[in-house]
Structure 1
Amino acid sequence: SANEEDWGPRPSRMLKCWRDVPGYKLFVKDKWNSFQVNGWGGYVLKEKLKMIKAALKDWHIAHVQNLPSRIESLKDRLSVLDQKGEEEDLSGIELDELHGVTADIQSLSRLHTSISWQQSRSRWLKEGDANSKFFHSVLAGRRRRNAISVIQVGGVTLEGVSPI
Protein backbone atom coordinates (compact mmCIF):
# COMPACT_ATOMS: atom_id res chain seq x y z
CA SER A 1 0.00 0.00 0.00
CA ALA A 2 0.98 3.67 -0.15
CA ASN A 3 2.03 3.88 3.51
CA GLU A 4 4.46 0.95 3.39
CA GLU A 5 8.16 1.68 3.30
CA ASP A 6 10.24 0.38 0.42
CA TRP A 7 12.64 -2.14 1.92
CA GLY A 8 14.28 -2.84 -1.43
CA PRO A 9 14.14 -6.06 -3.42
CA ARG A 10 12.65 -9.13 -1.80
CA PRO A 11 15.20 -11.54 -0.36
CA SER A 12 15.93 -14.76 -2.18
CA ARG A 13 14.35 -17.80 -0.57
CA MET A 14 15.68 -21.30 -1.01
CA LEU A 15 13.44 -24.28 -0.47
CA LYS A 16 15.31 -26.99 1.43
CA CYS A 17 13.82 -29.70 -0.76
CA TRP A 18 15.56 -28.28 -3.84
CA ARG A 19 18.68 -30.09 -2.63
CA ASP A 20 16.83 -33.37 -3.18
CA VAL A 21 16.10 -32.61 -6.84
CA PRO A 22 18.67 -34.36 -9.04
CA GLY A 23 21.03 -31.88 -10.65
CA TYR A 24 20.31 -28.97 -8.28
CA LYS A 25 23.80 -28.68 -6.76
CA LEU A 26 25.49 -29.02 -10.13
CA PHE A 27 23.15 -26.40 -11.63
CA VAL A 28 23.92 -23.87 -8.87
CA LYS A 29 27.66 -24.54 -9.03
CA ASP A 30 27.80 -24.23 -12.83
CA LYS A 31 25.65 -21.08 -12.86
CA TRP A 32 27.67 -19.45 -10.08
CA ASN A 33 30.96 -20.14 -11.86
CA SER A 34 29.58 -18.97 -15.22
CA PHE A 35 28.72 -15.47 -13.95
CA GLN A 36 31.48 -12.98 -14.72
CA VAL A 37 31.26 -9.78 -12.68
CA ASN A 38 34.02 -7.22 -12.23
CA GLY A 39 34.36 -4.98 -9.20
CA TRP A 40 35.13 -5.15 -5.54
CA GLY A 41 34.16 -8.25 -3.52
CA GLY A 42 30.88 -7.02 -2.03
CA TYR A 43 29.60 -5.79 -5.39
CA VAL A 44 30.54 -9.07 -7.12
CA LEU A 45 28.73 -11.07 -4.42
CA LYS A 46 25.61 -8.90 -4.64
CA GLU A 47 25.43 -9.14 -8.43
CA LYS A 48 26.05 -12.89 -8.46
CA LEU A 49 23.31 -13.40 -5.86
CA LYS A 50 20.90 -11.36 -8.01
CA MET A 51 21.76 -13.45 -11.07
CA ILE A 52 21.51 -16.78 -9.23
CA LYS A 53 18.12 -15.71 -7.83
CA ALA A 54 16.79 -15.13 -11.37
CA ALA A 55 18.31 -18.39 -12.62
CA LEU A 56 16.78 -20.33 -9.71
CA LYS A 57 13.34 -18.88 -10.47
CA ASP A 58 13.54 -20.30 -13.99
CA TRP A 59 14.98 -23.59 -12.68
CA HIS A 60 12.14 -23.87 -10.15
CA ILE A 61 9.53 -23.44 -12.87
CA ALA A 62 11.20 -26.07 -15.05
CA HIS A 63 11.88 -28.68 -12.35
CA VAL A 64 9.48 -28.22 -9.46
CA GLN A 65 6.40 -26.51 -10.89
CA ASN A 66 3.23 -28.55 -11.58
CA LEU A 67 4.16 -31.38 -9.24
CA PRO A 68 0.53 -32.45 -8.63
CA SER A 69 -0.15 -32.82 -12.36
CA ARG A 70 3.14 -34.69 -12.88
CA ILE A 71 2.24 -37.04 -10.02
CA GLU A 72 -1.23 -37.59 -11.50
CA SER A 73 0.16 -38.44 -14.93
CA LEU A 74 2.57 -40.93 -13.32
CA LYS A 75 -0.32 -42.47 -11.37
CA ASP A 76 -2.27 -42.81 -14.61
CA ARG A 77 0.69 -44.60 -16.22
CA LEU A 78 1.02 -46.82 -13.14
CA SER A 79 -2.66 -47.69 -13.38
CA VAL A 80 -2.27 -48.64 -17.06
CA LEU A 81 0.72 -50.85 -16.25
CA ASP A 82 -1.12 -52.47 -13.30
CA GLN A 83 -4.15 -53.17 -15.48
CA LYS A 84 -1.97 -54.70 -18.17
CA GLY A 85 -0.13 -56.76 -15.53
CA GLU A 86 -3.43 -58.23 -14.31
CA GLU A 87 -4.44 -59.25 -17.83
CA GLU A 88 -1.07 -60.61 -19.01
CA ASP A 89 2.55 -60.89 -17.96
CA LEU A 90 4.57 -57.70 -18.27
CA SER A 91 7.79 -57.69 -20.29
CA GLY A 92 11.11 -56.88 -18.62
CA ILE A 93 11.03 -53.35 -19.99
CA GLU A 94 7.50 -52.82 -18.66
CA LEU A 95 8.50 -54.19 -15.23
CA ASP A 96 11.44 -51.79 -15.13
CA GLU A 97 9.11 -48.95 -16.12
CA LEU A 98 6.64 -50.02 -13.40
CA HIS A 99 9.37 -49.86 -10.74
CA GLY A 100 10.67 -46.54 -12.12
CA VAL A 101 7.19 -44.98 -12.15
CA THR A 102 6.59 -46.12 -8.56
CA ALA A 103 9.91 -44.63 -7.43
CA ASP A 104 9.18 -41.39 -9.31
CA ILE A 105 5.75 -41.08 -7.67
CA GLN A 106 7.28 -41.53 -4.21
CA SER A 107 10.07 -39.06 -4.95
CA LEU A 108 7.75 -36.38 -6.38
CA SER A 109 5.25 -36.88 -3.55
CA ARG A 110 7.99 -36.35 -0.94
CA LEU A 111 9.15 -33.26 -2.82
CA HIS A 112 5.60 -31.88 -3.06
CA THR A 113 4.98 -32.53 0.64
CA SER A 114 8.23 -30.82 1.57
CA ILE A 115 7.46 -27.77 -0.57
CA SER A 116 3.91 -27.52 0.78
CA TRP A 117 5.13 -27.80 4.38
CA GLN A 118 7.85 -25.18 3.95
CA GLN A 119 5.53 -22.76 2.13
CA SER A 120 2.84 -23.16 4.79
CA ARG A 121 5.41 -22.48 7.53
CA SER A 122 6.67 -19.35 5.76
CA ARG A 123 3.07 -18.17 5.24
CA TRP A 124 2.32 -18.77 8.93
CA LEU A 125 5.46 -16.84 9.92
CA LYS A 126 4.47 -13.97 7.62
CA GLU A 127 0.79 -13.77 8.60
CA GLY A 128 1.17 -15.02 12.15
CA ASP A 129 -1.72 -16.15 14.29
CA ALA A 130 -3.91 -13.27 13.17
CA ASN A 131 -5.51 -15.27 10.38
CA SER A 132 -5.69 -18.59 12.19
CA LYS A 133 -9.15 -20.02 12.82
CA PHE A 134 -7.65 -22.25 15.52
CA PHE A 135 -6.07 -19.26 17.28
CA HIS A 136 -9.37 -17.38 17.33
CA SER A 137 -11.31 -20.39 18.65
CA VAL A 138 -8.77 -20.84 21.47
CA LEU A 139 -9.10 -17.15 22.38
CA ALA A 140 -12.91 -17.35 22.35
CA GLY A 141 -12.81 -20.42 24.60
CA ARG A 142 -10.48 -18.71 27.07
CA ARG A 143 -12.73 -15.64 27.08
CA ARG A 144 -15.77 -17.80 27.89
CA ARG A 145 -13.93 -19.72 30.63
CA ASN A 146 -12.51 -16.57 32.23
CA ALA A 147 -15.75 -14.58 32.09
CA ILE A 148 -17.63 -14.15 35.37
CA SER A 149 -21.32 -14.43 34.60
CA VAL A 150 -22.54 -15.67 38.01
CA ILE A 151 -21.17 -14.75 41.45
CA GLN A 152 -22.32 -15.55 44.95
CA VAL A 153 -22.02 -12.77 47.56
CA GLY A 154 -23.13 -13.43 51.15
CA GLY A 155 -25.35 -16.35 50.10
CA VAL A 156 -27.05 -14.33 47.36
CA THR A 157 -26.47 -15.43 43.75
CA LEU A 158 -26.02 -12.54 41.35
CA GLU A 159 -26.42 -13.08 37.60
CA GLY A 160 -25.94 -10.68 34.71
CA VAL A 161 -23.79 -7.64 34.20
CA SER A 162 -25.64 -4.93 36.15
CA PRO A 163 -25.99 -6.73 39.54
CA ILE A 164 -22.38 -7.92 39.45
Structure 2
Amino acid sequence: MLKCWKDVPGYNLFVRDKWNSFQVDGWGGYVLKEKLKMIKAELSGWHRDHTQNLPSRIDKLKGRLSVLDEKGEEENLSEEELAELHGVTYDIHSLSRLQASISWQQSRSLWLKEGDANSKYFHS
Protein backbone atom coordinates (compact mmCIF):
# COMPACT_ATOMS: atom_id res chain seq x y z
CA MET A 1 0.00 0.00 0.00
CA LEU A 2 1.30 3.41 -0.90
CA LYS A 3 0.72 6.27 1.54
CA CYS A 4 -0.30 8.63 -1.25
CA TRP A 5 -3.33 6.50 -2.15
CA LYS A 6 -5.27 8.00 0.75
CA ASP A 7 -5.14 11.36 -1.08
CA VAL A 8 -6.92 9.96 -4.14
CA PRO A 9 -10.67 10.61 -3.95
CA GLY A 10 -12.68 7.44 -3.44
CA TYR A 11 -9.85 5.35 -1.98
CA ASN A 12 -11.32 4.92 1.51
CA LEU A 13 -14.75 4.06 0.14
CA PHE A 14 -13.24 1.55 -2.32
CA VAL A 15 -11.27 -0.24 0.40
CA ARG A 16 -14.20 -0.31 2.83
CA ASP A 17 -16.62 -1.67 0.19
CA LYS A 18 -14.18 -4.32 -1.02
CA TRP A 19 -13.23 -5.39 2.51
CA ASN A 20 -16.87 -5.80 3.53
CA SER A 21 -17.75 -7.67 0.32
CA PHE A 22 -15.22 -10.47 0.90
CA GLN A 23 -16.72 -13.55 2.55
CA VAL A 24 -14.17 -15.92 4.05
CA ASP A 25 -14.91 -18.71 6.52
CA GLY A 26 -12.47 -19.95 9.12
CA TRP A 27 -10.73 -18.79 12.24
CA GLY A 28 -9.81 -15.12 12.70
CA GLY A 29 -6.18 -15.24 11.61
CA TYR A 30 -7.00 -17.16 8.44
CA VAL A 31 -9.85 -14.78 7.57
CA LEU A 32 -7.57 -11.77 8.04
CA LYS A 33 -4.80 -13.31 5.92
CA GLU A 34 -7.18 -14.19 3.08
CA LYS A 35 -8.87 -10.79 3.13
CA LEU A 36 -5.48 -9.06 2.99
CA LYS A 37 -4.50 -11.18 -0.03
CA MET A 38 -7.78 -10.32 -1.75
CA ILE A 39 -7.55 -6.62 -1.00
CA LYS A 40 -3.96 -6.61 -2.32
CA ALA A 41 -5.15 -7.93 -5.68
CA GLU A 42 -8.02 -5.43 -5.82
CA LEU A 43 -5.73 -2.53 -4.90
CA SER A 44 -3.33 -3.50 -7.66
CA GLY A 45 -6.09 -3.06 -10.24
CA TRP A 46 -7.32 0.13 -8.58
CA HIS A 47 -3.80 1.55 -8.68
CA ARG A 48 -3.53 0.85 -12.42
CA ASP A 49 -6.88 2.53 -13.07
CA HIS A 50 -6.27 5.65 -10.98
CA THR A 51 -2.58 6.35 -11.44
CA GLN A 52 -1.95 5.11 -14.96
CA ASN A 53 -0.43 7.59 -17.42
CA LEU A 54 0.15 10.32 -14.86
CA PRO A 55 2.82 12.01 -17.01
CA SER A 56 0.52 12.17 -20.05
CA ARG A 57 -2.37 13.46 -17.92
CA ILE A 58 -0.08 16.17 -16.53
CA ASP A 59 1.11 17.07 -20.04
CA LYS A 60 -2.49 17.45 -21.26
CA LEU A 61 -3.27 19.73 -18.33
CA LYS A 62 -0.14 21.78 -19.02
CA GLY A 63 -1.26 22.17 -22.63
CA ARG A 64 -4.66 23.45 -21.49
CA LEU A 65 -2.94 25.78 -19.02
CA SER A 66 -0.77 27.14 -21.83
CA VAL A 67 -3.84 27.82 -23.99
CA LEU A 68 -5.56 29.65 -21.14
CA ASP A 69 -2.39 31.65 -20.38
CA GLU A 70 -2.05 32.76 -24.01
CA LYS A 71 -5.70 33.74 -24.14
CA GLY A 72 -5.30 35.65 -20.86
CA GLU A 73 -2.40 37.64 -22.31
CA GLU A 74 -4.48 38.69 -25.33
CA GLU A 75 -7.74 39.50 -23.55
CA ASN A 76 -9.44 39.29 -20.18
CA LEU A 77 -10.59 35.83 -19.17
CA SER A 78 -14.20 35.23 -18.23
CA GLU A 79 -15.16 33.98 -14.77
CA GLU A 80 -15.55 30.43 -16.10
CA GLU A 81 -12.12 30.53 -17.73
CA LEU A 82 -10.55 31.88 -14.54
CA ALA A 83 -12.17 29.09 -12.55
CA GLU A 84 -10.90 26.57 -15.11
CA LEU A 85 -7.41 28.11 -14.92
CA HIS A 86 -7.36 27.71 -11.14
CA GLY A 87 -8.75 24.17 -11.40
CA VAL A 88 -6.16 23.13 -14.01
CA THR A 89 -3.36 24.62 -11.90
CA TYR A 90 -4.60 22.75 -8.83
CA ASP A 91 -4.90 19.49 -10.80
CA ILE A 92 -1.37 19.82 -12.19
CA HIS A 93 -0.01 20.42 -8.70
CA SER A 94 -1.88 17.52 -7.10
CA LEU A 95 -1.05 15.04 -9.91
CA SER A 96 2.62 16.07 -9.87
CA ARG A 97 2.74 15.60 -6.11
CA LEU A 98 1.05 12.19 -6.47
CA GLN A 99 3.52 11.12 -9.17
CA ALA A 100 6.50 12.22 -7.08
CA SER A 101 5.16 10.42 -4.03
CA ILE A 102 4.54 7.20 -5.96
CA SER A 103 8.01 7.30 -7.54
CA TRP A 104 9.70 7.92 -4.19
CA GLN A 105 7.80 5.16 -2.40
CA GLN A 106 8.38 2.64 -5.19
CA SER A 107 12.11 3.39 -5.33
CA ARG A 108 12.33 3.12 -1.54
CA SER A 109 10.50 -0.21 -1.66
CA LEU A 110 12.89 -1.51 -4.33
CA TRP A 111 15.88 -0.32 -2.32
CA LEU A 112 14.59 -2.14 0.78
CA LYS A 113 14.07 -5.35 -1.23
CA GLU A 114 17.30 -5.39 -3.21
CA GLY A 115 19.62 -3.17 -1.21
CA ASP A 116 22.22 -1.08 -2.96
CA ALA A 117 25.82 -1.44 -4.11
CA ASN A 118 27.15 -1.05 -0.55
CA SER A 119 24.92 -3.71 1.04
CA LYS A 120 27.29 -6.61 0.35
CA TYR A 121 30.21 -4.71 1.86
CA PHE A 122 28.44 -3.84 5.09
CA HIS A 123 26.69 -7.18 5.55
CA SER A 124 29.58 -9.52 4.80
- For normalisation by structure 2, the TM-score amounts to 0.87
Q: State how far apart, in whole Å, the 2-side matches of 1:62 and 1:80 are.
A: 28
The residue correspondences of 1:65-104 to structure 2 (distance < 5 A) are 65-104=52-91
1:6-155 matched pairs, under 5 angstroms: 14-130=1-117
**Structure in which a larger fraction of residues adopt helix:** 2
The 3-state SS of whatever aligns with 1:130 is coil
- Mapped partners of 1:61, 1:42: distance in 2: 29
Q: Partners of 1:87 and 1:70 in 2: how far apart?
A: 26
Distance, in Å, in 1 between the alignment partners of 2:45 and 2:27 is 28
Q: Which amino acid is the alignment partner of residue 80 of structure 1?
A: V
Worse overlay, 62-71 or 96-105? 62-71
- Partners in 2 of 1:63 and 1:91 — Cα distance? 31
SS in structure 2 at match of 1:119: helix
1:103-141, CA deviations, whole angstroms, 9 ceiling, x for partnerless residues? Answer: 011101111111111111122222322289xxxxxxxxx
- Write the distance in 1 (CA, Å) between the matches of 2:105 and 2:69: 34
Could you list the runs of 5+ residues in structure 1 that have no partner in the other structure? 1-13, 133-164
Structure 1 stretch displaced more, 105-114 or 86-95:
86-95
* TM-score, reference length from structure 1: 0.67
Q: Per chain length, whose mean CA-contact separation is higher, i.e. which structure has more relative contact order (CA < 8 Å, sep 6+)?
A: 2
Alignment size in residue pairs: 119
1:153-164 matches, within 5 Å, as none
Structure showing greater radius of gyration is 1
